Amino acid sequence: MSEANITPVLMPKWGLSMSEGVLVDWLVDEGAEITVGDEIMEVETDKIASAVEAADPGVLRRRVGDAGETYPVRALLGVLAPPDVSDDDIDAYIAAYEVPVDEDDDEGAAAAYEFAETAVGRLRYASRGDDGPALVLIHGFGGDLDNWLFNIDALAERARVYAFDLPGHGQSVKAIEDPSLAGLASALQAFLDTVEVDSAHLVGHSMGAAVAARLACDAPERVQSLTLIGAAGLGPEINADYIDGFVGAESRRELKPVLFNLFADSELVNRSMVDDLLKYKRIDGVQEALSSLAAELFPGGTQSAQLAADIDASGLNTLVIWGSGDAVIPAAHAQALGNAAIEIIDGAGHMVQMEKASAVNALILEHIG
Amino acid sequence: MARNLSMKDAINEALDQEMSRDPTVIVMGEDIVGGSGSPGEDDAWGGVLGVTKGLYAKHGDRLMDTPLSESAYIGAAVGASTCGLRPVAELMFLDFMGVCFDQIFNQAAKFRYMFGGKAETPVTIRAMVGAGFRAAAQHSQMLTPLFTHIPGLKVVCPSNAYDAKGLLIQSIRDNDPVIFCEHKALYASETDVPEESYTVPFGEANIVREGSDATIVGYGLMVHRASEAAETLAGEGIQCEIVDLRTLSPIDTDSVVESVENTGRLVCVDEANPRCSIAADIAATVSQQAFSSLKAAPQMVTAPHTPVPFSPALEDLYIPSAEAIADAVRKTMAP
């Protein structure tokens, strides 16, 4: 049996609610030599469209999935194998492949989200992974825990990963008692208390990076390391058109061009992303939450919180990741920190953890050791 | 958090949350508590199909069972709305509107205009619409065009539970009279609905499906028939875009025109009778505003110009089918 040499290419599972996806197109031909990180196919879910990067090397011996068709998560879409594996063995492998039954399917999508009753109210979160150090993912302004859908599973290979919705965001409590950075940092602390995590590696994106940094300065004993992605709090500039546009947009037509600011590749902004954000913005209390946060943190197109000196003084092991094409917060802000490792990723915008997920995941895993 | 909810339960939740939020919201109608003499307990009927079930136990006398006199209680609801309350009146079947039409189109719809903008009439009138229930000609009509014809009325007809909750909350908070049409055949249909209160704005169509070959415009149950047709047509290589109007007054002409500018083909679907229907309205508007984009004559798929038949076989033929919609799209594709 040469099955050990055969590696399946599967429909990925992006985020907790994904049950199926469309194989939009193949990006490589049969017979192509694949190296890890190559973009091999384009997949679209009801949330997002993205290229799938190869997780394993090999020759793409067979394209099993057809472009344009919908497949369940973990369906066999292709087969990687060395040239010496016979076609018969590959046929046999394909014939024998069964999509694994996910024990938490059906009601699983809902059950995979949990809720923590904290000192600042009910917070939604997801947790993955059983072993390793605790790692907490903190999304940015107007985001939610699904901003980490390409990261949470990869990071869970080596850490107990928590991703949660900040107050005013996602499916967490919408009222924000203290719409300041300190208020959000205390919400993060309240979350850590409720899920009984004494100290964690903090990975924050944008405003969430500033929240992580604020907690690291206020309560350094709770923080093992910092990863700051497209971070707020490291310089005065921020794209006011994005912040004001996001807060003010009342329709698809108004919101869609605003979201183009988030990605280097504007194709990633699809209708369901726009619709989901509009649905979020239309929940009672969300406009008030976003307006008060924007007024407090980003008044008049500037950032009110400047944390670089405090982060340097904390002596925490800090990694800074930025998309070179970030149109929301300039990548030049990465240079504000004296003692941090700095990684600028080409071809990515503000949502670099989505656009270049494998690279970001590898950097984080290396950083937490 | 979001969870699967039926359209019936979504409407119930919208009423419950708005009654909790705003003490001026009251609910009135025939049997909405449980009928005359009902103790109002949890197991009371809660409306003829149970949509208001459980609300009396929670909100007490802010729900009122009315006599079988639509002219009286719709008039009372309109009057109460001009005096500071936000009544939600349930008319059971939109077909019964005939006996209280003056209160709606000569009074409620006119106050804002006739009092120089100083009067507001924040009344919501909920009613069931549509055929398919073997309920014969007087309980099955799709009378939406009667109401879109009248300036001063807003007209809503959701196709799913998410929209139903958000649109009903918007209707209750709106300061104008709203005719809120609930398709009986959709009460059991489920979709993801947030637990929290939220609104869906008026005059914003929903693009249910994207496609580049033909635009299908509809509302209510017809959105589901259009989706079935689009699925069939996709197998033939025809990609349809489906526009769910959601509200008929105001109407999102921009989204329809924008879609037709991309596809060049238009099929208007309406469960109403064809003359002066929503379908006719959309076809005329697009012909005027996007004539140069059209590659074929706009098609209309509607009920025939007859009352809804009582014969089950005929009633099934009466309601526009997915096959009829698919045929109409094919007609626009013909060279």
The verdict on residue A282 lying in a domain is yes
Question: In the predicted model, what is the mean pLDDT of residues A138-157?
Answer: 94
Query: Is the bond preceding residue B309 a cis peptide, omega within 30 degrees?
Result: no
The verdict on residue A103 lying in a domain is no
The reply to whether A195 and A71 lie within a common domain is no
B2 touches chain A (CB under 8 A): yes
pTM for the model stands at 0.89
Least-confidence region, from A101-115, A333-347, B182-196: A101-115
On the question of pLDDT at B153 being above 90, the answer is yes
The reply to whether A178 and A57 lie within a common domain is no
Question: In the predicted model, what is the mean pLDDT of residues B101-106?
Answer: 96
CB nearest to B198's CB, from A251, A271, A284: A284
The reply to whether A137 and A192 lie within a common domain is yes
B237 touches chain A (CB under 8 A): no
Do the Cβ atoms of B1 and A285 come within 8 Å? no
The reply to whether A234 and A179 lie within a common domain is yes
The reply to whether A34 and A180 lie within a common domain is no
pLDDT at B41: 60
pLDDT at A15: 72
The verdict on residue A183 lying in a domain is yes
CB nearest to B1's CB, from A171, A279, A284: A171
B16-49 confidence digits (pLDDT tens): 999 999 999 999 999 888 755 556 565 577 888 8
Do the Cβ atoms of A283 and B3 come within 8 Å? no
Question: In the predicted model, what is the mean pLDDT of residues A65-86?
Answer: 90
Closest chain A residue by Cα to residue B252: A251
Q: Report how far residue B178's alpha carbon sits from residue B156's, in angstroms, rounded to the nearest whole number.
A: 7
pLDDT band per the 50, 70, 90 thresholds, residue A368: very high
Residue from B198, B204, B210 to probe the interface with A (highest A Cβ count within 10 Å) = B198
Average pLDDT over chain A, rounded to whole? 91
B276 touches chain A (CB under 8 A): no
Count CB pairs under 8 A between chains A and B: 34
A250 touches chain B (CB under 8 A): yes
Enumerate residues 252 to 291 of chain A having a beta carbon within 8 A of any beta carbon in chain B: 252, 271, 275, 279, 282-285
- DSSP per residue over A132-194, as a string? SSEEEEE--TT--GGGGTTTHHHHTTTSEEEEEPPTTSTTS-S--SS-SHHHHHHHHHHHHHH
The reply to whether A255 and A119 lie within a common domain is yes
pLDDT at A145: 96
B61 touches chain A (CB under 8 A): no
Return the closest-CA partner of residue B131 out of B147, B143, B113, B119.
B143
Do the Cβ atoms of A251 and B3 come within 8 Å? no
- The nearest CA of chain A is from the CA of B2 a distance in Å of 8
B152 touches chain A (CB under 8 A): no
DSSP state of B100: G
Do the Cβ atoms of A282 and B166 come within 8 Å? yes
Question: In the predicted model, what is the mean pLDDT of residues A209-220?
Answer: 96
The verdict on residue A173 lying in a domain is yes
The reply to whether A157 and A78 lie within a common domain is no
The reply to whether A274 and A133 lie within a common domain is yes
Q: Which domain holds residue A23?
A: 3-96
Q: Is B183 a catalytic residue?
A: no
pLDDT at B35: 57
Query: Do A319 and A367 form a contact (C-beta atoms < 8 A)?
Result: yes
Percent of chain B with pLDDT over 90: 89
CB nearest to A283's CB, from B194, B201, B210: B194
The reply to whether A273 and A302 lie within a common domain is yes
The reply to whether A62 and A118 lie within a common domain is no
Do the Cβ atoms of A124 and B1 come within 8 Å? yes
Q: Report how far residue B245's alpha carbon sits from residue B207's, in angstroms, rounded to the nearest whole number.
A: 9
The verdict on residue A184 lying in a domain is yes
CA A341, A347, A353, A358 dihedral sign is: negative
A6-36 confidence digits (pLDDT tens): 889 999 888 767 888 999 999 999 999 988 8
The verdict on residue A354 lying in a domain is yes
Please state the ipTM of this predicted complex: 0.89
Do the Cβ atoms of A110 and B207 come within 8 Å? no
List the CATH number of the domain containing A298. Answer: 3.40.50.1820
pLDDT at B143: 97
- The nearest CA of chain B is from the CA of A104 a distance in Å of 16
pLDDT top residue among A226 and A48: A226
CB nearest to A282's CB, from B200, B206, B207: B200
Q: Which of B59, B139, B183, B224 is catalytic?
A: B139
B211 touches chain A (CB under 8 A): no
Do the Cβ atoms of B201 and A284 come within 8 Å? no
The verdict on residue A199 lying in a domain is yes
Q: Which of A96, A123, A151 is the last residue of a domain?
A: A96
A291-337 confidence digits (pLDDT tens): 999 999 999 889 999 999 999 999 999 999 999 999 999 999 999 99
Q: Which residue has 């679209």 as its token pair?
A: A44
Residue numbers in A near B2 (CB within 8 A): 110, 171
B240-244 and B206-209 strand pairing: antiparallel
B280 touches chain A (CB under 8 A): no
Query: Do A181 and A195 form a contact (C-beta atoms < 8 A)?
Result: no
pLDDT at B38: 58
How many domains, chain A? 2
The verdict on residue A54 lying in a domain is yes
Residue from B13, B170, B196, B239 to probe the interface with A (highest A Cβ count within 10 Å) = B196
Residue numbers in A near B210 (CB within 8 A): 271
Do the Cβ atoms of A110 and B166 come within 8 Å? no
The reply to whether A162 and A17 lie within a common domain is no
Q: Report how far residue A223's alpha carbon sits from residue B174's, in angstroms, rounded to the nearest whole number.
A: 48
Report long-range pairs for A87-96 (Cβ below 8 Å, ≥24 apart).
A87/A61, A89/A1, A89/A2, A89/A3, A89/A6, A90/A6, A90/A61, A90/A62, A93/A3, A93/A6, A93/A8, A94/A62, A94/A64
Do the Cβ atoms of A171 and B204 come within 8 Å? no
Q: Which residue has 């006719």 as its token pair?
A: B280
The reply to whether A190 and A305 lie within a common domain is yes
B213-230 confidence digits (pLDDT tens): 999 999 999 999 999 999
Domains of chain B, each with CATH number or no CATH? 2-194 (3.40.50.970), 206-333 (3.40.50.920)
Q: Which of A50, A66, A96 is the last residue of a domain?
A: A96
CB nearest to A282's CB, from B199, B207, B210: B199
Q: Which residues, in sequence order, are CB contacts of A54 under 8 Å at separation 6+? A: A9, A34, A35, A36, A37, A38, A39, A40, A80
B40-84 confidence digits (pLDDT tens): 565 577 888 889 988 988 998 999 999 999 999 999 999 999 999
pLDDT at A111: 47
Residue numbers in A near B166 (CB within 8 A): 282
B48 touches chain A (CB under 8 A): no
